[in-house]
Amino acid sequence: MELRQLKYFLKAKELNNFTEAAKELYITQSTLSQQIKQLEIELDTLLFNRVGKRVTLTEAGALFAQYAQQSIKKSEDGKSMLSDLNNLQTGTLTIGVTLGLQRLFSKAVLEFATRYPHIRIEAVFGASHRLVKDLENMEMDMVLVFNESLDNPNYIYHPLFDSPLAMVSSVHSPYSERKSITLEEMEKLPLLVATKGFSTDHVISQAFQLQGLKPTFHMEINDIPTALELVKSGNWYSILVQTSVLDKDLVTIPIVDIKKKRTAMLIRMQDTYQKKAMRAFQEVLEEYRDEGG
Which residues are near a copy of itself by CB under 8 A? 1-4, 6, 42-45, 60, 63-64, 66-68, 70-72, 74-75, 77-79, 81-83, 85-86, 90, 273
Nearer of residues 6 and 144 to a copy of itself, judged by Cβ: 6
In the range 29-68, which residues lie near DNA by CB under 7 A?
29-31, 33-38, 48, 50-55
Write the secondary structure of the chain as one string of H (helix), E (strand) and C (coil). Answer: CCHHHHHHHHHHHHHCCHHHHHHHHCCCHHHHHHHHHHHHHHHCCCCEEEECCEEEECHHHHHHHHHHHHHHHHHHHHHHHHHHHCCCCCCEEEEEECHHHHHHHHHHHHHHHHHCCCCEEEEEECCHHHHHHHHHCCCCCEEEEECCCCCCCCEEEEEEEEEEEEEEEECCCCCCCCCCECHHHHHCCCEEECCCCCHHHHHHHHHHHHCCCCCCEEEECCCHHHHHHHHHCCCCEEEEEHHHCCCCCEEEEEECCCCCEEEEEEEEECCCCCCHHHHHHHHHHHHCHHHCC
Nearer of residues 73 and 202 to a copy of itself, judged by Cβ: 73
Sign of the torsion formed by the C-alpha atoms of 140, 241, 190 and 246: negative
φ, ψ dihedrals at 127, nearest 5°: -75, 145
When CB distances are held under 5 to 8 angstroms depending on the partner's kind, the choice from a copy of itself, DNA, none that residue 33 binds is DNA
Is residue 118 involved in binding DNA (CB under 7 A)? no
- Minimum distance, C-beta of residue 44 to a copy of itself, in the bound complex (Å): 7
Nearer of residues 63 and 256 to a copy of itself, judged by Cβ: 63
Mention every residue, 6+ apart, whose C-beta is less than 8 A from residue 111: 284, 287, 288
Nearer of residues 29 and 70 to a copy of itself, judged by Cβ: 70
- Minimum distance, C-beta of residue 6 to DNA, in the bound complex (Å): 12
Nearer of residues 18 and 237 to DNA, judged by Cβ: 18
- Minimum distance, C-beta of residue 84 to DNA, in the bound complex (Å): 24
When CB distances are held under 5 to 8 angstroms depending on the partner's kind, the choice from DNA, a copy of itself, none that residue 1 binds is a copy of itself
Binding mask 5-24 for DNA (x = CB under 7 A): ------------xxx-----
Mark the segment that binds DNA (CB under 7 A) among 27-35, 123-131, 220-228, 281-289: 27-35
Nearer of residues 9 and 198 to DNA, judged by Cβ: 9
- Minimum distance, C-beta of residue 186 to DNA, in the bound complex (Å): 43
- Minimum distance, C-beta of residue 73 to a copy of itself, in the bound complex (Å): 8
The binding site for DNA (CB under 7 A) comprises 2, 4, 17-19, 26-31, 33-38, 48, 50-55
